[in-house]
Chains A and B, each alone.
Chain A
Protein backbone atom coordinates (compact mmCIF):
# COMPACT_ATOMS: atom_id res chain seq x y z
CA UNK A 1 0.00 0.00 0.00
CA UNK A 2 2.68 2.49 0.96
CA UNK A 3 5.87 3.21 -0.93
CA UNK A 4 8.32 6.05 -1.05
CA UNK A 5 9.38 8.10 -4.02
CA UNK A 6 10.72 11.53 -4.87
CA UNK A 7 8.32 14.38 -4.30
CA UNK A 8 7.71 16.81 -7.12
CA UNK A 9 7.93 20.35 -5.75
CA UNK A 10 5.56 22.42 -7.84
CA UNK A 11 5.45 26.18 -7.49
CA UNK A 12 8.71 26.64 -5.63
CA UNK A 13 10.48 28.86 -8.11
CA UNK A 14 10.30 31.82 -5.72
CA UNK A 15 13.12 34.32 -5.48
CA UNK A 16 15.53 34.15 -2.51
CA UNK A 17 14.54 36.22 0.50
CA UNK A 18 10.92 36.46 -0.54
CA UNK A 19 9.54 35.44 2.87
CA UNK A 20 10.32 38.94 4.14
CA UNK A 21 8.74 40.82 1.25
CA UNK A 22 5.64 42.55 2.60
CA UNK A 23 2.92 42.41 0.02
CA UNK A 24 -0.04 40.12 -0.34
CA UNK A 25 1.25 38.18 -3.29
CA UNK A 26 4.50 36.97 -1.78
CA UNK A 27 5.30 35.07 1.41
CA UNK A 28 5.67 37.15 4.54
CA UNK A 29 6.17 36.61 8.26
CA UNK A 30 3.52 38.20 10.49
CA UNK A 31 2.72 38.15 14.19
CA UNK A 32 -0.25 35.98 15.18
CA UNK A 33 -0.58 37.33 18.71
CA UNK A 34 2.29 37.18 21.19
CA UNK A 35 2.70 33.39 21.15
CA UNK A 36 2.37 32.51 17.47
CA UNK A 37 3.75 33.57 14.11
CA UNK A 38 2.33 33.05 10.64
CA UNK A 39 4.02 32.61 7.30
CA UNK A 40 1.35 33.86 4.91
CA UNK A 41 1.04 34.41 1.18
CA UNK A 42 2.18 30.96 0.05
CA UNK A 43 0.88 29.46 -3.18
CA UNK A 44 -0.89 26.10 -3.55
CA UNK A 45 1.43 23.22 -2.72
CA UNK A 46 3.95 25.19 -0.69
CA UNK A 47 2.54 25.00 2.85
CA UNK A 48 3.47 21.37 3.57
CA UNK A 49 7.02 21.86 2.25
CA UNK A 50 7.54 25.12 4.12
CA UNK A 51 6.24 23.44 7.28
CA UNK A 52 8.89 20.73 6.99
CA UNK A 53 11.59 23.33 6.36
CA UNK A 54 10.54 25.27 9.47
CA UNK A 55 10.59 22.13 11.65
CA UNK A 56 14.02 21.24 10.33
CA UNK A 57 15.50 24.72 10.73
CA UNK A 58 14.15 25.21 14.26
CA UNK A 59 15.56 21.83 15.31
CA UNK A 60 18.91 22.59 13.74
CA UNK A 61 19.13 26.01 15.40
CA UNK A 62 17.79 24.72 18.74
CA UNK A 63 14.91 27.20 18.69
CA UNK A 64 12.12 26.08 21.00
CA UNK A 65 8.70 25.93 19.32
CA UNK A 66 5.46 24.15 20.19
CA UNK A 67 3.53 23.35 17.04
CA UNK A 68 3.93 23.96 13.32
CA UNK A 69 0.62 23.73 11.46
CA UNK A 70 -0.03 24.09 7.73
CA UNK A 71 -3.11 25.84 6.35
CA UNK A 72 -4.23 26.28 2.75
CA UNK A 73 -1.71 29.04 1.94
CA UNK A 74 -0.07 29.59 5.30
CA UNK A 75 1.90 27.96 8.10
CA UNK A 76 1.49 28.90 11.76
CA UNK A 77 4.14 28.33 14.40
CA UNK A 78 3.24 28.47 18.10
CA UNK A 79 6.10 29.24 20.44
CA UNK A 80 6.87 30.55 23.93
CA UNK A 81 6.18 34.27 24.19
CA UNK A 82 9.84 35.00 24.98
CA UNK A 83 10.89 33.28 21.77
CA UNK A 84 8.83 35.41 19.36
CA UNK A 85 11.69 37.56 18.11
CA UNK A 86 14.05 34.64 17.61
CA UNK A 87 11.41 32.62 15.76
CA UNK A 88 10.42 35.55 13.54
CA UNK A 89 14.04 36.32 12.66
CA UNK A 90 14.66 32.65 11.86
CA UNK A 91 11.54 32.43 9.66
CA UNK A 92 12.54 35.53 7.77
CA UNK A 93 15.82 33.83 6.90
CA UNK A 94 14.12 30.79 5.34
CA UNK A 95 13.75 31.07 1.60
CA UNK A 96 10.90 29.18 0.03
CA UNK A 97 13.18 28.18 -2.82
CA UNK A 98 15.51 26.63 -0.25
CA UNK A 99 12.69 24.68 1.33
CA UNK A 100 13.14 22.06 -1.38
CA UNK A 101 16.72 21.46 -0.29
CA UNK A 102 15.85 21.27 3.38
CA UNK A 103 12.80 19.04 2.97
CA UNK A 104 13.31 15.30 2.93
CA UNK A 105 13.70 13.98 -0.59
CA UNK A 106 11.16 11.28 0.08
CA UNK A 107 7.54 11.72 0.99
CA UNK A 108 5.11 8.93 1.72
CA UNK A 109 2.79 7.92 -1.07
CA UNK A 110 -0.45 6.02 -0.69
CA UNK A 111 -3.04 4.53 -3.05
CA UNK A 112 -6.58 4.20 -1.76
CA UNK A 113 -8.98 1.68 -3.31
CA UNK A 114 -12.38 3.31 -3.83
CA UNK A 115 -15.82 1.90 -4.46
CA UNK A 116 -17.25 4.76 -6.56
CA UNK A 117 -20.89 4.36 -5.57
CA UNK A 118 -21.35 7.58 -3.61
CA UNK A 119 -24.78 9.23 -3.35
CA UNK A 120 -23.58 12.43 -5.09
CA UNK A 121 -21.83 10.83 -8.08
CA UNK A 122 -24.74 11.44 -10.47
CA UNK A 123 -25.32 14.97 -9.17
CA UNK A 124 -21.64 15.85 -9.66
CA UNK A 125 -21.71 14.38 -13.18
CA UNK A 126 -24.79 16.41 -14.03
CA UNK A 127 -23.35 19.65 -12.60
CA UNK A 128 -20.08 19.18 -14.48
CA UNK A 129 -21.68 18.10 -17.76
CA UNK A 130 -20.07 14.67 -17.62
CA UNK A 131 -21.13 11.05 -17.33
CA UNK A 132 -20.67 9.34 -13.97
CA UNK A 133 -17.93 7.16 -15.41
CA UNK A 134 -16.13 10.26 -16.69
CA UNK A 135 -16.22 11.71 -13.16
CA UNK A 136 -14.75 8.47 -11.81
CA UNK A 137 -12.06 8.40 -14.49
CA UNK A 138 -11.10 12.01 -13.82
CA UNK A 139 -11.08 11.63 -10.04
CA UNK A 140 -9.13 8.37 -10.00
CA UNK A 141 -6.78 9.50 -12.75
CA UNK A 142 -5.47 12.55 -10.88
CA UNK A 143 -2.45 12.74 -8.55
CA UNK A 144 -3.09 14.42 -5.23
CA UNK A 145 -0.93 15.91 -2.48
CA UNK A 146 -2.02 16.57 1.12
CA UNK A 147 -1.88 20.34 1.49
CA UNK A 148 -2.95 20.45 5.14
CA UNK A 149 -5.13 18.67 7.69
CA UNK A 150 -8.03 20.11 9.65
CA UNK A 151 -11.75 19.76 10.40
CA UNK A 152 -11.24 16.50 12.32
CA UNK A 153 -8.28 14.27 13.23
CA UNK A 154 -6.81 12.75 10.09
CA UNK A 155 -8.97 14.80 7.66
CA UNK A 156 -6.62 15.82 4.85
CA UNK A 157 -7.25 18.46 2.19
CA UNK A 158 -5.92 17.04 -1.08
CA UNK A 159 -4.91 19.31 -3.94
CA UNK A 160 -4.82 18.04 -7.48
CA UNK A 161 -8.55 17.73 -8.21
CA UNK A 162 -9.14 18.40 -11.94
CA UNK A 163 -10.63 21.88 -12.41
CA UNK A 164 -13.69 20.54 -14.21
CA UNK A 165 -14.74 18.86 -10.92
CA UNK A 166 -14.54 22.02 -8.79
CA UNK A 167 -17.99 22.59 -7.30
CA UNK A 168 -19.17 24.61 -4.31
CA UNK A 169 -20.01 22.47 -1.28
CA UNK A 170 -23.58 21.30 -0.70
CA UNK A 171 -26.05 24.00 0.32
CA UNK A 172 -27.10 21.84 3.26
CA UNK A 173 -24.47 19.69 4.97
CA UNK A 174 -25.35 16.09 5.79
CA UNK A 175 -25.64 15.40 9.51
CA UNK A 176 -23.84 12.07 9.01
CA UNK A 177 -21.21 11.18 6.45
CA UNK A 178 -19.91 7.60 6.82
CA UNK A 179 -16.31 6.77 7.67
CA UNK A 180 -14.18 6.33 4.55
CA UNK A 181 -16.40 8.51 2.33
CA UNK A 182 -14.39 9.90 -0.60
CA UNK A 183 -15.57 13.42 -1.29
CA UNK A 184 -14.91 16.62 -3.23
CA UNK A 185 -15.63 20.33 -2.65
CA UNK A 186 -14.15 23.44 -4.26
CA UNK A 187 -10.58 22.63 -5.35
CA UNK A 188 -10.13 19.80 -2.85
CA UNK A 189 -10.75 16.10 -2.49
CA UNK A 190 -10.78 14.36 0.90
CA UNK A 191 -11.66 11.17 2.71
CA UNK A 192 -13.72 11.34 5.90
CA UNK A 193 -11.55 9.56 8.50
CA UNK A 194 -14.60 8.77 10.64
CA UNK A 195 -18.32 9.33 10.70
CA UNK A 196 -19.07 13.03 11.06
CA UNK A 197 -21.28 15.78 9.68
CA UNK A 198 -20.11 17.04 6.30
CA UNK A 199 -21.00 19.28 3.38
CA UNK A 200 -18.86 17.78 0.64
CA UNK A 201 -20.06 15.79 -2.41
CA UNK A 202 -19.67 12.06 -1.83
CA UNK A 203 -18.27 10.12 -4.78
CA UNK A 204 -17.48 6.81 -3.12
CA UNK A 205 -16.05 5.00 -0.14
CA UNK A 206 -12.73 3.39 0.83
CA UNK A 207 -12.06 0.66 3.39
CA UNK A 208 -8.70 2.14 4.34
CA UNK A 209 -8.56 3.17 7.99
CA UNK A 210 -7.19 6.70 7.75
CA UNK A 211 -7.14 7.45 11.47
CA UNK A 212 -6.13 5.01 14.18
CA UNK A 213 -4.75 6.26 17.47
CA UNK A 214 -3.28 2.88 18.37
CA UNK A 215 -0.76 3.22 15.52
CA UNK A 216 2.55 5.07 16.00
CA UNK A 217 1.50 7.30 13.12
CA UNK A 218 -2.25 7.68 13.68
CA UNK A 219 -2.91 9.47 10.38
CA UNK A 220 -2.39 7.85 6.97
CA UNK A 221 -2.53 11.23 5.25
CA UNK A 222 -0.06 13.79 6.62
CA UNK A 223 0.94 17.12 5.05
CA UNK A 224 2.98 16.40 1.92
CA UNK A 225 1.76 12.80 1.44
CA UNK A 226 1.04 11.94 -2.20
CA UNK A 227 -2.29 10.22 -2.79
CA UNK A 228 -3.88 8.29 -5.66
CA UNK A 229 -7.34 6.76 -5.86
CA UNK A 230 -7.96 3.47 -7.62
CA UNK A 231 -11.39 2.31 -8.70
CA UNK A 232 -12.42 -1.09 -7.34
CA UNK A 233 -13.64 -3.10 -10.27
Chain B
Protein backbone atom coordinates (compact mmCIF):
# COMPACT_ATOMS: atom_id res chain seq x y z
CA UNK B 1 0.00 0.00 0.00
CA UNK B 2 2.21 2.85 -1.13
CA UNK B 3 2.21 6.17 -2.87
CA UNK B 4 5.28 7.59 -4.55
CA UNK B 5 6.03 11.29 -4.20
CA UNK B 6 6.81 12.76 -7.60
CA UNK B 7 6.95 16.35 -6.37
CA UNK B 8 6.70 17.24 -2.67
CA UNK B 9 6.04 20.97 -2.98
CA UNK B 10 5.02 22.64 0.28
CA UNK B 11 3.87 19.44 1.95
CA UNK B 12 4.37 17.79 5.33
CA UNK B 13 2.99 14.69 7.07
CA UNK B 14 0.73 15.68 9.97
CA UNK B 15 -1.32 13.87 12.55
CA UNK B 16 -2.83 15.28 15.74
CA UNK B 17 0.63 16.16 17.04
CA UNK B 18 2.61 15.51 20.24
CA UNK B 19 0.56 16.25 23.31
CA UNK B 20 2.30 15.46 26.58
CA UNK B 21 5.83 16.65 25.77
CA UNK B 22 5.48 20.44 26.08
CA UNK B 23 6.99 20.39 29.58
CA UNK B 24 10.25 19.26 27.95
CA UNK B 25 10.18 22.06 25.38
CA UNK B 26 8.65 20.00 22.56
CA UNK B 27 6.02 21.86 20.52
CA UNK B 28 2.60 20.22 20.16
CA UNK B 29 2.78 20.43 16.35
CA UNK B 30 0.23 18.47 14.29
CA UNK B 31 -2.28 19.77 11.73
CA UNK B 32 -2.59 23.57 11.75
CA UNK B 33 -6.28 23.61 10.81
CA UNK B 34 -7.66 20.97 13.16
CA UNK B 35 -11.23 21.21 11.93
CA UNK B 36 -10.27 20.42 8.34
CA UNK B 37 -7.93 17.66 9.55
CA UNK B 38 -10.61 15.94 11.63
CA UNK B 39 -13.13 16.25 8.79
CA UNK B 40 -10.70 14.59 6.37
CA UNK B 41 -10.21 11.61 8.67
CA UNK B 42 -13.92 11.30 9.31
CA UNK B 43 -14.72 11.24 5.59
CA UNK B 44 -11.83 8.86 4.86
CA UNK B 45 -13.14 6.45 7.53
CA UNK B 46 -9.98 6.79 9.59
CA UNK B 47 -9.20 7.12 13.27
CA UNK B 48 -9.55 10.77 14.21
CA UNK B 49 -5.81 11.32 14.65
CA UNK B 50 -4.58 9.30 11.65
CA UNK B 51 -1.71 10.91 9.74
CA UNK B 52 -2.26 12.59 6.37
CA UNK B 53 -0.62 15.22 4.17
CA UNK B 54 -0.92 18.94 4.83
CA UNK B 55 -0.02 20.88 1.72
CA UNK B 56 0.06 24.39 0.36
CA UNK B 57 0.52 23.12 -3.17
CA UNK B 58 3.11 21.82 -5.60
CA UNK B 59 2.34 18.21 -4.67
CA UNK B 60 2.25 15.27 -7.08
CA UNK B 61 1.82 11.63 -5.98
CA UNK B 62 1.55 8.39 -7.93
CA UNK B 63 -0.51 5.53 -6.55
CA UNK B 64 0.97 2.03 -6.80
CA UNK B 65 -2.24 0.41 -5.57
CA UNK B 66 -5.91 1.38 -5.49
CA UNK B 67 -6.52 3.91 -2.73
CA UNK B 68 -9.31 6.23 -1.62
CA UNK B 69 -8.39 9.90 -1.19
CA UNK B 70 -10.28 12.77 0.48
CA UNK B 71 -9.31 16.46 0.32
CA UNK B 72 -10.50 19.05 2.83
CA UNK B 73 -9.40 22.52 3.91
CA UNK B 74 -8.57 25.36 1.55
CA UNK B 75 -10.03 25.13 -1.94
CA UNK B 76 -7.41 23.85 -4.36
CA UNK B 77 -6.58 23.27 -7.97
CA UNK B 78 -6.43 19.46 -7.67
CA UNK B 79 -6.54 16.62 -10.21
CA UNK B 80 -6.42 12.86 -10.55
CA UNK B 81 -4.61 12.49 -13.85
CA UNK B 82 -6.47 15.20 -15.79
CA UNK B 83 -9.81 14.95 -13.96
CA UNK B 84 -10.58 17.62 -11.35
CA UNK B 85 -10.56 16.17 -7.83
CA UNK B 86 -13.53 17.49 -5.83
CA UNK B 87 -13.30 18.51 -2.19
CA UNK B 88 -14.88 16.43 0.57
CA UNK B 89 -15.52 13.54 -1.82
CA UNK B 90 -14.14 10.07 -1.19
CA UNK B 91 -12.48 9.41 -4.55
CA UNK B 92 -11.01 6.13 -5.73
CA UNK B 93 -7.53 6.38 -7.20
CA UNK B 94 -6.40 3.51 -9.43
CA UNK B 95 -2.90 2.03 -9.58
CA UNK B 96 -0.74 4.23 -11.79
CA UNK B 97 -2.94 7.30 -11.34
CA UNK B 98 -1.34 10.58 -10.35
CA UNK B 99 -2.82 12.93 -7.75
CA UNK B 100 -1.77 16.54 -8.20
CA UNK B 101 -2.49 19.45 -5.86
CA UNK B 102 -1.15 22.39 -7.84
CA UNK B 103 -1.95 25.29 -5.56
CA UNK B 104 -4.40 26.49 -2.94
CA UNK B 105 -6.90 28.93 -4.41
CA UNK B 106 -8.38 30.56 -1.33
CA UNK B 107 -6.73 29.72 1.95
CA UNK B 108 -3.35 28.47 3.11
CA UNK B 109 -3.39 24.68 3.35
CA UNK B 110 -5.42 21.68 2.41
CA UNK B 111 -5.53 18.20 3.91
CA UNK B 112 -5.08 15.08 1.83
CA UNK B 113 -6.22 11.96 3.68
CA UNK B 114 -6.05 8.37 2.46
CA UNK B 115 -8.28 5.60 3.71
CA UNK B 116 -6.11 3.58 6.08
CA UNK B 117 -4.02 6.61 7.04
CA UNK B 118 -0.34 7.40 6.47
CA UNK B 119 1.93 5.07 8.43
CA UNK B 120 5.58 5.36 9.39
CA UNK B 121 8.04 5.35 12.27
CA UNK B 122 6.80 7.92 14.75
CA UNK B 123 9.01 10.18 16.84
CA UNK B 124 7.63 10.89 20.31
CA UNK B 125 4.48 9.02 19.27
CA UNK B 126 3.72 11.27 16.30
CA UNK B 127 4.46 11.44 12.58
CA UNK B 128 4.05 15.22 12.52
CA UNK B 129 6.72 17.37 10.94
CA UNK B 130 7.56 20.06 13.50
CA UNK B 131 9.02 23.07 11.71
CA UNK B 132 10.30 24.73 14.91
CA UNK B 133 12.13 21.80 16.52
CA UNK B 134 12.86 20.10 13.23
CA UNK B 135 11.43 16.84 14.49
CA UNK B 136 10.78 15.30 11.11
CA UNK B 137 9.92 11.61 11.23
CA UNK B 138 9.14 11.40 7.48
CA UNK B 139 10.90 13.89 5.23
CA UNK B 140 9.04 14.20 1.93
CA UNK B 141 11.16 14.49 -1.18
CA UNK B 142 10.73 13.41 -4.78
CA UNK B 143 10.99 9.63 -4.92
CA UNK B 144 10.10 8.96 -1.29
CA UNK B 145 7.35 6.47 -0.58
CA UNK B 146 4.33 6.87 1.65
CA UNK B 147 3.01 3.73 3.30
CA UNK B 148 -0.71 3.45 4.01
CA UNK B 149 -2.45 1.39 6.64
CA UNK B 150 -5.23 -1.08 5.96
CA UNK B 151 -8.64 0.49 5.44
CA UNK B 152 -11.12 -1.10 7.81
CA UNK B 153 -14.02 1.31 7.44
CA UNK B 154 -15.82 2.84 4.51
CA UNK B 155 -15.10 6.34 3.28
CA UNK B 156 -17.97 8.77 2.78
CA UNK B 157 -18.58 11.92 0.74
CA UNK B 158 -20.37 15.18 1.37
CA UNK B 159 -22.87 16.45 -1.19
CA UNK B 160 -21.83 20.01 -0.40
CA UNK B 161 -18.18 20.49 0.53
CA UNK B 162 -17.31 22.18 3.82
CA UNK B 163 -14.82 24.97 3.21
CA UNK B 164 -12.88 26.68 6.00
CA UNK B 165 -15.11 29.11 7.85
CA UNK B 166 -14.22 32.80 7.66
CA UNK B 167 -15.96 34.90 10.30
CA UNK B 168 -16.22 38.69 10.01
CA UNK B 169 -14.73 38.92 13.51
CA UNK B 170 -12.66 36.51 15.63
CA UNK B 171 -13.32 36.46 19.38
CA UNK B 172 -10.52 37.33 21.78
CA UNK B 173 -10.81 35.65 25.15
CA UNK B 174 -8.87 37.39 27.93
CA UNK B 175 -5.32 36.08 28.27
CA UNK B 176 -3.24 36.03 31.45
CA UNK B 177 -1.94 39.57 30.81
CA UNK B 178 -5.25 41.08 29.78
CA UNK B 179 -5.24 43.14 32.98
CA UNK B 180 -2.02 44.91 31.90
CA UNK B 181 -3.91 46.61 29.07
CA UNK B 182 -5.50 50.00 29.55
CA UNK B 183 -9.13 50.34 28.39
CA UNK B 184 -7.80 52.30 25.38
CA UNK B 185 -5.38 49.50 24.48
CA UNK B 186 -8.15 46.91 24.71
CA UNK B 187 -10.31 49.05 22.49
CA UNK B 188 -7.44 49.52 20.07
CA UNK B 189 -6.93 45.76 19.61
CA UNK B 190 -10.61 45.40 18.77
CA UNK B 191 -10.77 48.28 16.27
CA UNK B 192 -7.52 47.81 14.33
CA UNK B 193 -7.73 46.41 10.85
CA UNK B 194 -5.13 43.66 11.29
CA UNK B 195 -3.17 42.48 8.26
CA UNK B 196 -1.79 38.91 8.01
CA UNK B 197 1.98 39.33 7.58
CA UNK B 198 3.90 37.53 4.84
CA UNK B 199 6.20 35.67 7.22
CA UNK B 200 3.36 33.89 9.01
CA UNK B 201 3.93 30.13 9.07
CA UNK B 202 3.14 26.95 11.01
CA UNK B 203 4.66 28.50 14.14
CA UNK B 204 2.47 31.57 14.25
CA UNK B 205 0.53 34.25 12.42
CA UNK B 206 1.96 37.76 12.72
CA UNK B 207 -0.66 40.49 12.60
CA UNK B 208 0.47 43.95 11.65
CA UNK B 209 -1.40 47.16 10.91
CA UNK B 210 -1.02 50.57 9.33
CA UNK B 211 -1.62 52.21 12.72
CA UNK B 212 0.55 50.28 15.19
CA UNK B 213 0.91 51.67 18.70
CA UNK B 214 4.11 50.95 20.59
CA UNK B 215 3.86 49.86 24.20
CA UNK B 216 6.21 49.81 27.17
CA UNK B 217 5.38 46.59 28.95
CA UNK B 218 8.22 45.28 31.12
CA UNK B 219 10.00 42.12 30.00
CA UNK B 220 8.19 39.12 31.44
CA UNK B 221 9.56 35.92 32.86
CA UNK B 222 9.05 32.99 30.48
CA UNK B 223 5.56 31.60 30.66
CA UNK B 224 4.02 28.60 28.88
CA UNK B 225 2.29 29.37 25.58
CA UNK B 226 -0.78 27.66 24.14
CA UNK B 227 -2.19 27.34 20.63
CA UNK B 228 -4.22 30.48 19.98
CA UNK B 229 -2.29 32.63 22.48
CA UNK B 230 -2.12 36.24 21.22
CA UNK B 231 1.18 37.88 22.15
CA UNK B 232 1.54 41.65 22.04
CA UNK B 233 5.02 42.69 20.91
CA UNK B 234 6.64 46.03 21.88
CA UNK B 235 6.03 47.40 18.37
CA UNK B 236 2.29 46.82 18.79
CA UNK B 237 2.11 43.83 16.44
CA UNK B 238 0.37 40.63 17.50
CA UNK B 239 1.71 37.10 17.12
CA UNK B 240 -0.89 34.33 17.33
CA UNK B 241 0.49 30.90 18.17
CA UNK B 242 -0.21 28.01 15.76
CA UNK B 243 0.67 24.30 15.83
CA UNK B 244 4.49 24.54 15.99
CA UNK B 245 4.59 27.37 18.54
CA UNK B 246 7.42 27.43 21.09
CA UNK B 247 6.37 26.03 24.47
CA UNK B 248 7.33 29.19 26.39
CA UNK B 249 7.60 32.89 25.57
CA UNK B 250 8.23 36.27 27.15
CA UNK B 251 5.79 38.71 25.52
CA UNK B 252 2.51 39.56 27.25
CA UNK B 253 -0.31 37.19 26.27
CA UNK B 254 -3.19 39.66 26.13
CA UNK B 255 -5.78 37.39 24.53
CA UNK B 256 -6.44 33.85 23.37
CA UNK B 257 -8.38 32.63 20.33
CA UNK B 258 -10.59 29.57 20.72
CA UNK B 259 -9.69 26.51 18.64
CA UNK B 260 -12.17 27.12 15.80
CA UNK B 261 -10.98 30.70 15.47
CA UNK B 262 -7.37 29.52 15.27
CA UNK B 263 -8.40 27.29 12.35
CA UNK B 264 -10.10 30.26 10.71
CA UNK B 265 -7.09 32.57 11.14
CA UNK B 266 -4.61 29.93 9.96
CA UNK B 267 -6.44 29.63 6.63
CA UNK B 268 -6.31 33.36 5.80
CA UNK B 269 -3.87 34.28 3.04
CA UNK B 270 -1.13 36.81 3.80
CA UNK B 271 -1.94 40.48 3.18
CA UNK B 272 -5.65 39.88 3.85
CA UNK B 273 -7.26 41.53 6.86
CA UNK B 274 -8.86 40.24 10.01
CA UNK B 275 -10.87 41.90 12.77
CA UNK B 276 -10.59 40.84 16.39
CA UNK B 277 -13.08 41.59 19.13
CA UNK B 278 -13.46 40.98 22.85
Contacts and interface: CB of A to CB of B under 8 A. Distances in A.
Interface of A: 30-36, 38, 40, 51, 66-76, 78, 81, 148-155, 157, 213, 218-219, 222-223
Nearest to A223: B23
B226 A150 contact: no
Interface string B253-265: 1011111000000
A69 B22 contact: yes
Complex A-B, nearest 7 residue pairs according to Cβ-Cβ distance, in ascending order: A33-B256, A150-B248, A72-B221, A76-B224, A69-B224, A71-B223, A149-B25
B246 to A, nearest CB: 7
A226 B26 CA distance: 21
A149 B24 contact: yes
- Please indicate which of the listed interface residues B25, B174, B229 has the most CB atoms of chain A within 10 Å of its own CB: B25
Interface of B: 19-26, 28, 123-124, 133, 135, 173-176, 221-224, 226, 228-229, 246-248, 253, 255-259
A153 B25 contact: yes
A174 to B, nearest CB: 18
Contacts of A70: 23, 224
Contacts of B256: 32-34, 36
A79 to B, nearest CB: 10
Given A74-B223, A151-B25, A213-B135, A34 B247 contact: no
B133 A78 contact: no
A150 B222 contact: yes
Nearest to B257: A33
A73 B248 CA distance: 12
A27 B77 CA distance: 53
B26 A71 contact: no
B124 A218 contact: yes
B222 A31 contact: no
Contact of B22 (A35, A67, A74, A151): A67
Contacts of B253: 32
Contacts of B257: 33
Nearest to B219: A186
Given A33-B228, A66-B19, A150-B248, A71 B221 contact: yes
B245 to A, nearest CB: 11
Nearest to A150: B248
A38 B173 CA distance: 14
A108 to B, nearest CB: 13
8 contacts: A33-B175, A33-B226, A66-B20, A76-B226, A81-B259, A150-B25, A218-B24, A222-B23
